[in-house]
Structure 1
Amino acid sequence: RLPLPSLKVPRELLRSFPHSKRVGSYLIGKMINKGSFAKVMEGLHIGTGEKTLETENSYYMVMELCAGGDLMDRICERKRLEEREVRRYTRQILSAVDHLHKHGVVHDLKIENFLLDDHNNIKIVFGLSNTLKPDSLSLELLSTQCGSPAYAAPELLAHKKYGPKVDVWSGVSMFAMLTGTLPFTVEPFNIKQLHQKMVNREISSIPTDISKAVSFVMSLLEPDPDKRPSVRAAMEEKWINEGFAKKPLHTLSHKNLSPEDVDSSVLADMTEALGYSLSEIIHALTNNRPSNIMAYYHLLLGKFARSQKGVRAGK
């Protein structure tokens, strides 16, 4: 085995991290961003040096750094994206949405929900979403209104009950990637007029060099959800698979770890440096339930993997 990094966080790092208060095992730093419903604060975990946040009273979604930035910025910078790049992004989006639907999550996507990692892959982030039972995706309808009007499916704007096909309406984002504009716009903004444009399919002007792509997009922007294809059906279309040997992959669910799968090096450091007992670590990991132990394990596993990669690269 390659030598593992020490879990001891340098005191200089803790002292130099600008923060206003401490919550449990975390130092709370500056505000990174804020939206209508929450503020995003930077946090530093005192035990591992990882920048993340979790408290006894609140759940926080911790995401990896998306070094590629915001897809919206990419479109604004280039005016419009190349068709092959849009195809690649759309394949990833549909595959991710299929995975969400398997877990009963209906998202209602928009361009602002897409980030890019350092390998230029799409990462979906969450704004508003809704949930239903995974085994009733084709039967149960939702009624809670969520999403931005410019990206919302017609049934949402009409305050009708809806199902997972609202996510297929993400063809709006695909149109934006291809053209640099939204397919349905109203000036000054008026929801009723916007809805009517969607129903009448009064779409914005389209460049003539992307006719095949537009044909696929228009199939996603079908105003009648009963006629709109499902995510699975969209993933079977010819355009989306052009130039690819395989159809978009359906993401597999993570299985519970068995005791034999647990990394012994991480296990040793968690028992020695963090004070957890072997039995409680194994119990948490094999039950695959969100917890401090689960978070520590995966954070450290990632940290060790990055360290080992750096050692190999330095040889």
Structure 2
Amino acid sequence: MAGDRRSEVRRVLVITLILNLLVMAIKAVVGWATGSLSLLADALHSVTDSANNVLGLVANHFASPEPDREHPYGHQKFDAVGALGIAAFLGIACFEILSGAVGRLFSEESHAVNISPSQLWILLAVLGVNIFVAYYERRVGRRVGSALLVADAKHTMSDVWITMMVIAGLIGVWLGNRWNVPQLQLLDLVLAFPVALLVFRSGWEVIEENLPWLVDRMAIAPEQIKAIAMSVPGVVNCHAIASRGMIGRQVFIEMHMVVEAEDVETAHDITEAVEAELEKRYNPARILIHVEPPDYESSRITYDGRPSEGGGGSLGSEK
């Protein structure tokens, strides 16, 4: 059973929420003061960082790994739902950035960007805060097995790259103002588009990582589970093998197994040994083993979706 690390995850989310609010405020103030579209778009992206932290705190409240009467398999899918919520926020940010850039591209009004060296130094300090938040969340998320923290770290890391691009563009704008090269003003507008692409990429990665958990995709190849089970003395055959969850976070394994035993106690000891071997390899794991009669046979190792000719669900022909 996975341990309840929610208090540690909650502490990380609170710390990063405070830092993200600070970053968002600085970017918004500097963006408004300079008239920079790319920086305002970056500030919008930072708004989603803060919203993600709030969403994470809500999801974390419901993401207990311990089962209860209404949720006998635990609550960890709330964690994945929260991660997909982050992907939704990323999609919103991507749309807002693109619509703002396209609107200014076809606007007839002049939008000059004026930035000072002191404002650039402030943005570099903000970049340092972003890097710290991304590293901190990813390190703790991997250590405690929190999909929410790892997903939010990906989001924050995209913010790091975005801020680096924006700062590079604003340095170019500043140089253009000093050297009287007005064409460099376009850097601010042009960079808004790759910012949107980076936001979209981050959201897609979060979806790819968490969707298999929500749709109960196979977590472990049934052949691997069978090989481990058959290595235990006393196991004659195993079939109807299924698994779901995510390795390292929480895995559920079930199978039917034929054991060489003449009494219940011996059969129980064999199944306990199989469970111990599987837990050693895939912990945290919850394992359910159904013991079959000694003369029971099945040609199907797992579920393949074809109709059964016997009594084994969708396992196919049994005898």
TM-score surpassing 0.5? Answer: no
Structure-2-length-normalised TM-score: 0.23
Name which one, 1 or 2, has greater alpha-carbon Rg. Answer: 2
Task: Compute the TM-score of the two structures, normalised by the length of structure 1.
Answer: 0.24
Greater helix content: 2
